[in-house]
Amino acid sequence: MRLNFSILLFFILTLSYSQVNKKPNILLLYMDDLRPELNSYGSKHIYSPNIDKLAEKGVQFNEAYANVAVCGASRASMLTGIYPGIDYFIDYKTRVDIEKNDIVTIPKLLKNNGYTTISNGKIYHFLDDKWDDWDEVWRPYAFDNPEGIEPIDWWQSLWKDYQTTENKELEKITGKGPAFEIANVKDSVLIDGLLTNKVIRDIKRLKNIQKELHLQFIGFVKSRRGDKIKDENKEIFTGAFWSGESGLEIGLVDAIGEMKRVLKDRFGEKVKKRAKQVFFCDVILPCRIK
């Protein structure tokens, strides 16, 4: 008699995404052409409670300097991890994909290591610079571009985002406008507000995906093991790692041993194994006979 098996193997037995040694979530905020005129930096006339709280919980750099005093070039330098040179990263219209395309950027490195990378707002100067380094690229209004106008060109025409009639007319006539304005509108109307809301939505969406996958995993383990789980305590699904012996004690596995020998002991000496996908492991979950 010849039996075919579908075997579920794990390199190491864990019952959720590791909450103990998990990869950290990374939220990188870029703001250029600004000095640290904030309460946490000693400017007591500035009311900045949220950034002050962030400074208290994290690390505030009090002696940090830009590699180059130009917006686009500075961001390119930070995202590639290399200093500007005499012929690259020298002005605002820097393009990494032209000047240093062979460099593995920070978002590319993260993406290669299992992260979901999202570019919201103005990260590189050009919207399509190193496009493939991201899972998603988004800027307010950019992809609402009229036919015949590229997203980057449409964005460039809107980014000043004036809200008052006076300033809009001034920009039409002169091509310029004031450095700032005080308009009686909600934050969600402004590009900064739209961008903030998009980031918040992304964080919630990714968090919900993680939660959904975790719950699916819990359901899968419970359906496979059923009453064999002997100690269904709170730590089983927290991300703690269980060795073979520990997993055996609480009913997460049936046996520990060399795969070929375990299969023959269970199904006879003539058993044939055909693995579709095999990882090195010391844990075997129940086999299912096709």
Contact predicate 111/104, CB 8 Å: no
Q: 93: how many CB neighbours lie within 10 A of its CB?
A: 11
Give the up-direction half-sphere exposure of residue 275: CA atoms within 13 A in the CB hemisphere.
10
Does 287 participate in catalysis according to the annotation? Answer: no
Q: Please state whether beta strands 13-14 and 241-242 pair in parallel, antiparallel, or not at all (unpaired).
A: antiparallel
Query: Exactly one of 45, 125, 214, 281 is catalytic; which is it?
Result: 125
| Whole-angstrom distance, CA of residue 223 vs CA of residue 91 | 59
Count of residues making up the chain: 290
45, 71, 214, 287: the catalytic one is 71
- Return the amino acid letter for 98: I
CB 157 within 8 A of CB 175: no
Q: What are phi and psi of 261, to 5 degrees?
A: -70, -40
> Is position 71 annotated as part of the catalytic site?
yes
| Catalytic positions | 71, 125
